[in-house]
Structure 1
Amino acid sequence: MNDTTPRLLVVDDDAELRTLIAEFLSASGFSVEAASNGEAMDKLLQQGRFDLIVLDQMMPGEDGLSILRRLRGPNGPAIIMLSAMGEDTDRIIGLEVGADDYLAKPCNPRELLARIRAVLRRRAGGSEAGPMGKVRRFGSWALDIVQRQLTRTGVSVALTDAEFRTLSAFLDRPQRVLTRDQLIEHARGLGSDVFDRAIDVTISRLRKKLSPDDPIRTVRNEGYMFTLKVEG
Structure 2
Amino acid sequence: MSEAQPHILVVDDDKRLRDLLGRYLTEQGYRVTTAVDAADARAKMAGITFDLLVLDVMMPGESGVDLARSLRESSLVPILLLTAMGEATDRIAGLETGVDDYLVKGSFEPRELVLRISAILKRAQARSERQTSVGAVKFGAFVFEIERRRLFKSGEPVHLTEAESELLFQLARRAGEPVSREDLSPQGEEGGESRQIDVQMTRLRRKVEDDPRFPRFLQTVRGRGYVLQPD
Say how many residue pairs are matched: 150
Corresponding residue number in structure 2 for 1:91: 91
> Which amino acid letter does the alignment assign opposite residue 133 of structure 2?
K
1:187 maps to what in 2? Answer: none
What's the counterpart of residue 6 of structure 1?
6
Amino acid at match of 1:8: I
Q: What is the alpha-carbon distance in structure 1 between the residues aligned to residue 34 and residue 147 of structure 2?
A: 40
1:45-56, aligned counterparts within 5 Å? 45-56=45-56
Letter in 1 for 2:76: G
* Higher RCO (CA 8 Å, separation ≥ 6 residues): 1
Shift of 1:72: 1.5
1:114 matches 2:108: no
* 1:20-58 deviation line (CA, Å, top 9, x unaligned): 111000000000011110111122112211110100011
CA distance in 2, matches of 1:48, 1:31: 12
1:38 aligns with 2:38: yes
Distance in 2 separating the partners of 1:115 and 1:5: 16
- Structure 1 stretches of 4+ with a deviation exceeding 3 A read 73-76
- Quote the residue 1:218 is aligned against: none
Shift of 1:2: 1.7
- Cα offset, 1:154, TM superposition: 2.3
* Counterpart AA for 2:87: E
Give the letter aligned to residue 76 of structure 1. L
Partner of 1:98: helix, strand, or coil? coil
2-side partners of 1:82 and 1:73: how far apart? 20
Which secondary structure state, in structure 2, belongs to the residue aligned with residue 26 of structure 1?
helix
Q: Which amino acid aligns with 1:95?
A: L
CA-to-partner distance for each residue in 1:107-157, whole Å, 9 max, x for gaps? 31110100000000111118xx9x8x933xxxxxx7x7x99x9x896276x
TM-score for both structures, normalised by structure 1: 0.56
CA distance in 2, matches of 1:74, 1:66: 14
Provide, for residues 62-109 of structure 1, a one-character-per-residue CA deviation record: whole Å limited to 9, x for no partner: 111110011115643210001101111111111111111001112311
Amino acid at match of 2:23: E
1:16 aligns with 2:10: no
The residue that corresponds to 2:100 in the other structure is 100
Over the aligned positions, Cα root-mean-square deviation in angstroms equals 3.4
Q: What runs of 5+ residues in structure 2 fail to find an aligned partner?
A: 151-231
Q: Distance in 2 between matches of 1:152 and 1:94?
A: 32
Equivalent residue number for residue 65 of structure 2: 65
Counterpart-to-counterpart distance in 1, 2:125 and 2:73: 16
Segments of 5+ residues of structure 1 without an aligned counterpart are 136-141, 157-232
